[in-house]
Amino acid sequence: MPEVNDQDISGVYIIDKPEGFTSHDVVAQVRRILDTRQVGHFGTLDPFATGLLPVSAGKATRFAQFYLKSRKAYVGTIRFGFATDTYDATGTPASDAAPCPIEANVINSLFTELTGRIQQTPPPFSAKRVDGKRAYDLARQQKPVVLEPVEVEIYALELLGIDGECVRFAVECSGGTYVRSLAHDLGKRLGCGAHLAELRRTGVAEFSEAQLVTLDKLAAAAQEGNVASCRVPMEALLPDCPDLVVHGREEQSIRHGHQFQLARVARPGRGGAASANVPKILKVMNADRRLIAIARHVVGAVYHPDVGLV
């Protein structure tokens, strides 16, 4: 395989995660394909789920902090009639099967109730910590797992179709939302139990299915020395963040990690003159429009280049 250097690989690869793979499995595969240890991901996806998993490589791994709470989108299927201990199809039935007539108007009403800011209890089989231990470790040992509800936001929840006891849906939600818990809670509200039968992630932050790359395609591109065709470059990340173009001594100062005042360098590339809404972060570009740093607002017009990319 041709040698792949850091400059070639830095960026985000929107991997189409196969069913049965953990997010860590995907990271391990990408490490092997790109021949680098510097690989991470933006948001875990359950093994039984498929779809969009943004995987960062090279210097782009430093962007993970900006995507921790990103908006996510999914399509999936909820099966009504019985619950499972994992809240999905991989678990053991936790209730006896019961007939559960499904009516569109009832489902739409429940979807409306669950839209907006809600309190949601994570599943027992989750990575949440209980007294320093992972909840799923306790659950596997059949020990009691008590998790506190957390606030999440459901931006949109849409009924796509009904087939017997199965409901097809689409959801957009905040980071930290468990779609498995959403399915479980719907079953409780209908009084017949439910679990998540299928799940596919279709969006994370600005990333979409149009950018999906399979592991096989990435491997073939690496074999051809053309991984650039599969990646989102760092300059395209955080598209809503203003750009700041710097030159000469200002560029060198920022490259060395020095604070700077916005008035002393070029104006942000978007938005024109400074306004009362001071950007919390800036993407700092050099004259060649290459990203050299992410700068965080300190006070007034002062910014600090927290994330150096040189």
Q: Decide: 68 and 39 in contact? Cβ < 8 Å.
A: no
| Separation CA 309–CA 294 (nearest Å) | 8
> Of 8, 16, 46, 243, which one is the catalytic site residue?
46
For 87, which DSSP code? Answer: S
Residue 66: closest CA among 239, 192, 271, 187: 239
Q: Decide: 222 and 34 in contact? Cβ < 8 Å.
A: yes
Continuous segment of H or E residues that includes residue 190: helix 179-190
- Reported in sequence order, the residue ranges of 165-242 that DSSP labels E, i.e. its strands, are 166-173, 194-204, 207-208
| Separation CA 169–CA 163 (nearest Å) | 12
For 232, which DSSP code? Answer: B
Cα dihedral angle (87, 111, 99, 196), rounded to 10 degrees?
Answer: -20
| Separation CA 90–CA 97 (nearest Å) | 16
Which tokens belong to 229?
């065709």
Q: Decide: 279 and 242 in contact? Cβ < 8 Å.
A: yes
For 269, which DSSP code? Answer: S
Decide if 46 is catalytic.
yes
What's the one-letter identity of residue 61? T
Taking CA 265 as the corner, what is the angle to CA 261 and CA 270, rounded to the nearest 5 degrees? 100
| Separation CA 194–CA 181 (nearest Å) | 10
Q: Which residues are catalytic?
A: 46
